Amino acid sequence: MTSHAELPDPGNELHHFGWNACSSALAHAGHQNAERRYLIVPGLRSSRLHVFDTSPDPDRPHLVKVVQPEELAAKAGYSRPHTLHCGPDGMFLSCLGGADGADGPGGVALLDHESFEVLRAWESDRGPQRLAYDVWWHLRRNIAVTSEWGSPSMIENGVVPELLLGRQYGHTLHFWELDSGRHLQSLDLGDENQMVLELRPAHDPEATWGFTNTVVNVGDLSASVWLWNREGEDFVIHKEITVPAEPAQTEDLPPALQPFGAVPPLITDIDLSVDDQWLYVSAWGTGDLLQYDVSDPFRPRQTAAVRLGGIVTRQPHPAEPDVPLTGGAQMVELSRDGRRVYLTNSLYAAWDEQFYPAGIDPWMVKLDADTAHGGLVVDSGFFPHGTEFSGLRVHQTHLQGGDASSDSYCYRR
């Protein structure tokens, strides 16, 4: 059974939504009675925030509030909201643009847990940070981390080749004092590694390590996953995983890639299981979902790979083995027990059209994960696609009871 909720206004392009309550906002911050009930859904193009109430029927959420872009701009100085994480002092909303859609600096707006009003900009001293993308934290260490994609003009109409080859997209991580919003340290991954996106800190609240990814290396079209860790008072970062580009026939490539004669993996999402043992890496260009055992985060070990879609291969789903899939493995989400893995296939409309110019038919996939020894199997009985989504693009998945990217920490038993 499927249901849907429609927005009253067009042109939003919804991206990374989040819950009003989570592990960070409950006993740790004194919100013992907070309920994971409201979904806050940012519109990356419109700069509106839509608040949905999932009670009394979570299958039929209903819109209860819209925060207009004027409020976000006036109270926090930001626009183009992208990612929302429930935090200890409020909801942290990363934004790519400055007020009124200006190119920057981007940053983080703080929202009230209960009223959903924009409170203020979170940063008190941003240091050299200008570009924005994700935000997350090491809660017990009072450390926040932010990453970089690009400003509104850099992403609005797709990848800008001159900016990419000129190494102008984000390539730096920033570390902050969580409670004060004071900038502490920057780590540059090298300007050849463009677009430092997802942040996946360890869920262990005492840990000081985490993973991030870069989308593309402009030298060889590879993509990579990096591990940050605290050594003494400072953070350091090392590349732990490299996924190479794959040679391809020119005629099989979209115009944007034809000069290179290869398919870049384009790592656009990663996800870390709640027990911090399994890392999932989605390569939107080739269509691969890669599973790694990271029980020792300094020595990741690949344990499985599944290909679905992809720019060249268009690998079919087992339920329809004769129908090539459009798009590729993009956003990945994990259930709290780590056994269910969900994938969707759209990144951002303008970018979809560059890399998949023939069009992307929406789909969502579930895979079953072996959490004892590693391994992935596509669930042939779970394949919402086509008319299920009435031609809409499909981006992020969240689970009602929480998931690996909703709850920022979890104590081991």
Tokens 């932010």 map to which residue?
146
**Angle subtended at Cα 45 by Cα 41 and Cα 49, rounded to the nearest 5 degrees:** 25
pLDDT(258) > 70:
yes
Question: For residue 33, what pLDDT is reported?
Answer: 53
State the average pLDDT over residues 300-306: 98
Complete edge-to-edge strand list for the sheet that includes strand 38-42? 18-19, 38-42, 49-53, 62-67
pLDDT above 70 coverage of the chain, percent? 95
The b-or-e profile of 334-372 (16+ CB within 10 A means b, else e) is: bbbebebbbbbbbbbeebbbbbbeeebbbbbbbbebeee
Tokens at residue 411, please?
């104590």
**In whole angstroms, what is the distance from residue 364 CA to residue 277 CA?**
24
Among the residue ranges 88-102, 282-296, 383-397, the one predicted with the least confidence is 383-397
What pLDDT was estimated at residue 27? 46
Contact between 49 and 10 under an 8 Å Cβ cutoff? The reply is no
25 has pLDDT over 60? no
Q: What is the mean pLDDT of residues 139-166?
A: 95
Cα–Cα distance measured from residue 259 to residue 282, given in angstroms and rounded to the nearest whole number:
24
What is the rounded average pLDDT for all residues in the chain? 93
Instruction: Please state the domain extents for the chain.
Output: 197-413
On the 0-12 / 13-18 / 19+ scale of CB atoms within 10 A, 100 is: middle
pLDDT digits (tens, 9 = 90+) for 366-403: 999 999 999 999 999 999 998 777 778 898 888 887 88
Q: Could you tell me which of 254, 404, 377, 403 has the C-alpha nearest to residue 318? A: 377
Residue 288 pLDDT class (50, 70, 90 cuts)? very high
Give the pLDDT mean for 93-116.
93
Per-residue pLDDT tens for 217-251? 999 999 999 999 999 999 999 999 999 999 999 99
For residue 324, whether the previous peptide bond is cis, meaning omega lies within 30 degrees of 0, is no
Non-local (6+) Cβ contacts of 380 within 8 A are 317, 318, 319
pLDDT at 48 over 80: yes
pLDDT value of position 9:
87
pLDDT (0 to 100) of residue 402: 81
- What strands lie across the sheet with 118-121, from one edge to the other? 78-86, 91-98, 107-111, 118-121
Q: How far apart are CA 407 and CA 201, in angstroms?
A: 11
pLDDT tens readout for residues 324-374? 999 999 999 999 999 999 999 999 999 999 999 999 999 999 999 999 999
DSSP bridge pairs for 368: 340, 377
Average pLDDT of 163-181? Answer: 97
Of 326, 290, 330, whose CA–CA distance to 311 is shortest?
326
Mean pLDDT in residue range 4-11: 86
Instruction: Of 264, 271, 210, give the one whose Cα is nearest residue 242.
Output: 264
Pairing of strands 49-53, 62-67: antiparallel
- % of residues, the chain, pLDDT over 90: 80
Query: Which tokens belong to 16?
Result: 């990374």
The residue among 409 and 30 whose pLDDT is bigger is 409
| Burial (CB count within 10 angstroms: exposed 0-12, middle 13-18, buried 19+), residue 292 | buried
- In this prediction, residue 1 has a pLDDT band, given cuts at 50, 70 and 90, of low
Segment 317-330 shows an average pLDDT of 96
